Structure 1
Amino acid sequence: MEVLNTFMTWIFRNRLGQIENFMEHPIDVQREIFFELIKTAKKTDFGKKFHFQEIRSYADFARQVPIHDYEQMKPYIDRCMSGEQNVIWPTEITWFSKSSGTTGSRSKFIPVSPETLEECHFKGGKDMLSLYVRNYPDTKLFSGKSLTIGGSYQVNPLDGTKNSFYGDVSAVIMQNLPMWVQFARTPSLEVALMSEWESKIERMAIETMQENVSSIAGVPTWAIVLIKRIMEIKGADNILQVWPNLEVFFHGAVAFGPYRQLFEELIPSPRMHYMETYNASEGFFGIQDQADSEDLLLMLDYGIFYEFIPMEEWESDDPKVLPLQEIELGKNYAMLISTNAGLWRYKIGDTVKFTSIRPYRFRISGRTKHFINAFGEEVIVENAEKAIELACAATNSTIVNFTAAPVYFEGVSGKGAHEWIIEFETAPEDREEFISLLDNNLRDLNSDYDAKRYKDMALSAPRVHFAESGLFESWLRSKGKLGGQNKIPRLSNNRDFVEELLKMRN
């Protein structure tokens, strides 16, 4: 295995020259990507509608092609899912990445073209390894196997050919990986793509604890659940007693900070590394390229053209939109993407702040809407408001206000949850019934929340505090924010508001 490790390390170092090229010439690379996208898609239905053949500059593109959110792209995507081709992208699209939905949809279905797989997702995985090898040249990563924790996929019932599929982006990628990569990973594809999570975790634990695992890739939530189960089976005090050569966790999807201490308890090694990636259903956007910084390098040659809306312009009917060369350091921007799968000027819902321009590095600063995404559940305000509305209707109750935040994993044996504070005008007679309805409604509305709540494996039932009358008004008054448009955010990915309100109740 030592010879293989040396060879693979050399292979991945070779990509570094291309990475350095877009770091040194970012605008030139983005310009090439832009014109290639326009040229390739000009004969699609979308390209004809918006006269791509007449686009000669970015200014033409910005003037002719409107900004799209998912609901505006959905009619085109629905046609693709029904089996139509050449709608938004010319090559055949038979895969769709499924993620949590918008106001009108329980789930979003994002097209994944062959180019997106090869030039974006696969390339991102290779670059992640290339940058890791550069940062840690003495790595023994390739002497062991990579444990990959992914989702599942299924046949797309809307396409009568039965040759179209949708699933979690991790499952889409995993199912399409080349054979040499399948050889280097664990567990078996059959187990990795199981849909029933309780059986899946058990099977993964049994398979992977027999392997020499040197790296883990996935969402922190499920990695913790799996590691705990393996430790339980083996009677281990920490996972290094099972995998002594484990050296890195490649993570993404949620903020890692709240999980770091728990991972250090589970993997007590000063030689353990953590590397963040920004890989979403829509594309692979960033990689933590420096060992001593949590900033992400914006990956500019993956077939994605970037634009940015300053957050102060977000609510505008005609927002100012900036290409990459016009962004400023330290400002909060919503990101727009045009991709080699046919998303055009698409709002992905994430916000970023740039920390460097040469090269372009950034940090994910949040979402364009209030949300909770501590465990990969992606609960947005619309989900929460609808779930409460339905629970109130069923229990003849009415609310004044509410807020919710995550409860992060509490120690090695603890589980995560959502904690709610709800003030009622008319309280429900049966509080437990209300809590159960709130939880079940959220599961119906949001597929990612439902997956995390399955048998309490990653998320326990919500913790709900029934607040006394006037609590929210008192908090606003204490902050000098009473009246006008001031309000407490309905959802937050940190516990600041919840903790302050709980202190006021004591």
Structure 2
Amino acid sequence: MGIRSVLSRPFAKQIAKQQKQWSTNPGVCQDKIFSKLIKSAQNTTFGQDHAFGSIRSYDDFKKNVPIRDYEELSPYIKKIIEGDQDVLWPGKPTYLSKTSGTTSGVKYIPITKDSIPNHINSARNALLSYIHETGNAKFIDGKLIFLSGSPELDKKNGINTGRLSGIVNHHVPNYLRTNQMPSYQTNCIDDWEEKLDTIIEETITQNMTLISGIPPWVQMYFDKLHERTGKKIMDIFPNFSLFVYGGVNFEPYKNKLFDSIGKEIDSIETYPASEGFIAYQDSQHEEGLLLLVNSGIFFEFIPADEYFSENPTRLTIEDVELGVNYAVIINSNAGLWGYSIGDTVKFVSKKPYRLLVTGRIKHFISAFGEHVIGEEVEKAMKQTMDEFREVDLVEFSVAPQVNPESGLPLHEWYIEFDNPPNDLPAFEKALNLHLQKLNTYYDDLISGNILTNLKVISLQKDAFRNYMKSLGKLGGQNKVPRLSNDRKIAMGLSPFVLAQ
């Protein structure tokens, strides 16, 4: 056993003890953070505009600070980009995290000196929590790969600007630098396919023990390794024992990924965003991700079915209920206030608070009032694949078809299979039935002959890869939405449809 793994154990024990303390006192932690945030920002432009000096309670805060998305907060962001100080948080941000927006193009999310620990320590603590629970620390002695964006940073009026994964790369602890892969130079390659080929050259002979990244891009890495060697990943990297991922639901990728590896291995799910590190999986045995209630973020939650109403209910952590979909709202020491990050979550535990990420508030299908959400299509797909064990899929996305050439409107499921079902009509029928059971509105529309049963549209090999490449979003932290209420993604995928 190496020195890193030996030293990690007492550190992991210490972090686990701290984690237990704050996770069992979530209300107290959130109250302290709320008070500190308001006091720290009362002399900022935003604080003065919203009378932070007069805020004495959460009710005061709700009256003074409305819910905003990026577009509504962007006038303040623009001032920061132009060089103003003390806008959303005292001073200037240390970084601006560059990410893709849905309606505003590129978004720039501030990361301050005070908020950096949320991003860095949370990722570290997820690993240490795993070490403490399982006793497995050997992976720290091997090579660790993080499939991420370029760490090269630009500047906007003196503020370093880049992708979150690239920014985080600058804060990897020194004790891990010597076994981090790929190299800095390789991470700086912009073209994903060239970058992936170079990563393979660097890693194929190494003792890889941990691999981290978004599942579809990790799968592409595994596929290329298999093409090169003809071997399973466990035969190339026999000590590979831990997979760390985030950004998408793992279930649709799980079977294919483990088949590529050649065995099941432990995995840790994380919930990082440019706006803040929200939660991580703290147990291999308990469902859900531990909400980080003591990391510089004061959380609010809005019932998802109220989100688009004029006066939605705003709840603190102590008011949420199990099994309800909520939109996540954050207030943070990065200077985000009443900020909707666009995600929906569902709590599965209150002792401690653990959640599942269920989708995006704007990613749904409700062309006919069915309001089908990401969690439902993913669960329907998993349940169907459990019945059709031969099926492996690469990716899928769902869109409404309001004006079919004939018959009733329907949902179209664009699916790239790695191994298709032996009986596609039976697969379609099962998928439709599972979705009906999961969504009563969809079931009513099917039963009432307003919608007809869904249709699976099979796509060519590498369809999603080529689609993302056409958008300039191949690799990194980019991902395809599971569903949308329009036909934009469907139209983009149409050139890759297999001949029927």
TM-score, scaled relative to structure 2: 0.75
Cα 1:491/1:340, change in 2 over 3 Å = farther
Report what 1:243 is aligned to: 237
- 1:452 aligned to 2:470? no
Kept in 1: contact 2:151–2:169 (CA 8 A):
no
- 1:145 aligned to 2:138? no
- Work out the CA distance in 2 between the residues paired with 1:248 and 1:132: 10
Q: Which amino acid aligns with 1:287?
A: Y
Kept in 2: contact 1:258–1:408 (CA 8 A):
no
Among candidates 162, 165, 168, match of residue 166 of structure 1: 162
* 3-state SS in 2 of match to 1:351: strand
Q: How does 1:76-475 map to 2 (within 5 A)?
A: 76-103=76-103, 105-118=104-117, 120-152=118-150, 155-156=153-154, 159-161=156-158, 163-167=159-163, 169-233=164-228, 235-270=229-264, 272-370=265-363, 405-408=413-416, 410-411=418-419, 450-452=472-474
Which digits, 9 at most, give the CA deviation of each residue in 1:223-243, with x for residues without a partner?
A: 11112222322x142011111
TM-score, scaled relative to structure 1: 0.74
- Work out the CA distance in 2 between the residues paired with 1:211 and 1:453: 22
- Work out the CA distance in 1 between the residues paired with 2:193 and 2:475: 11
- Work out the CA distance in 1 between the residues paired with 2:412 and 2:396: 13
Cα 1:279/1:342, change in 2 over 3 Å = same
Give 5+ residue unaligned stretches, structure 1. 389-399, 413-438, 460-487, 494-501
Q: Which amino acid aligns with 2:201?
A: I
Moved more, 60-69 or 187-196: 187-196
Deviation at 1:310, TM superposition (A): 1.1
- Work out the CA distance in 2 between the residues paired with 1:142 and 1:79: 43
Cα 1:4/1:314, change in 2 over 3 Å = closer
Kept in 1: contact 2:115–2:333 (CA 8 A):
yes
- Work out the CA distance in 2 between the residues paired with 1:138 and 1:301: 26
Deviation at 1:141, TM superposition (A): 1.5
Q: CA RMSD in A?
A: 3.8
Q: Which amino acid aligns with 1:363?
A: L
- Work out the CA distance in 1 between the residues paired with 2:396 and 2:293: 26
Kept in 2: contact 1:231–1:239 (CA 8 A):
yes
- Work out the CA distance in 1 between the residues paired with 2:328 and 2:154: 29
Kept in 1: contact 2:153–2:160 (CA 8 A):
yes
Q: Number of aligned residue pairs: give it.
A: 419
Kept in 2: contact 1:219–1:251 (CA 8 A):
yes
Deviation at 1:409, TM superposition (A): 5.5
- Work out the CA distance in 1 between the residues paired with 2:315 and 2:345: 13
- Work out the CA distance in 2 between the residues paired with 1:69 and 1:114: 23
Report what 1:61 is aligned to: 61
Report what 2:492 is aligned to: none
Cα 1:199/1:140, change in 2 over 3 Å = same
- Work out the CA distance in 2 between the residues paired with 1:166 and 1:47: 27
Q: Which amino acid aligns with 1:117?
A: I
Which digits, 9 at most, give the CA deviation of each residue in 1:58-112, with x for residues without a partner?
A: 1111111111111111111122222222110114314222222122x22222111
- Work out the CA distance in 2 between the residues paired with 1:11 and 1:124: 14
Q: Which amino acid aligns with 1:70?
A: Y
- 1:30 aligned to 2:52? no
Report what 2:388 is aligned to: none
Moved more, 280-289 or 106-115: 106-115
Q: Which amino acid aligns with 1:335?
A: V
Kept in 2: contact 1:149–1:217 (CA 8 A):
yes
Cα 1:202/1:458, change in 2 over 3 Å = farther
- Work out the CA distance in 2 between the residues paired with 1:378 and 1:156: 34
Deviation at 1:284, TM superposition (A): 0.8
Kept in 2: contact 1:297–1:362 (CA 8 A):
yes
- Work out the CA distance in 1 between the residues paired with 2:51 and 2:162: 30
Deviation at 1:9, TM superposition (A): 2.6
Deviation at 1:333, TM superposition (A): 0.9
Deviation at 1:182, TM superposition (A): 2.2
Cα 1:70/1:377, change in 2 over 3 Å = farther
Cα 1:351/1:206, change in 2 over 3 Å = same
Report what 1:465 is aligned to: none
Give 5+ residue unaligned stretches, structure 2. 365-372, 379-392, 403-407, 421-463, 490-496
* 3-state SS in 2 of match to 1:191: helix
Kept in 2: contact 1:252–1:278 (CA 8 A):
yes
Deviation at 1:214, TM superposition (A): 0.7
- Work out the CA distance in 2 between the residues paired with 1:78 and 1:188: 34
Cα 1:160/1:347, change in 2 over 3 Å = closer
Deviation at 1:448, TM superposition (A): 10
- Work out the CA distance in 2 between the residues paired with 1:44 and 1:408: 50
Kept in 1: contact 2:109–2:275 (CA 8 A):
yes
- Work out the CA distance in 2 between the residues paired with 1:117 and 1:405: 40
Kept in 2: contact 1:353–1:362 (CA 8 A):
yes
Q: Percent identity?
A: 33
- Work out the CA distance in 1 between the residues paired with 2:53 and 2:102: 32
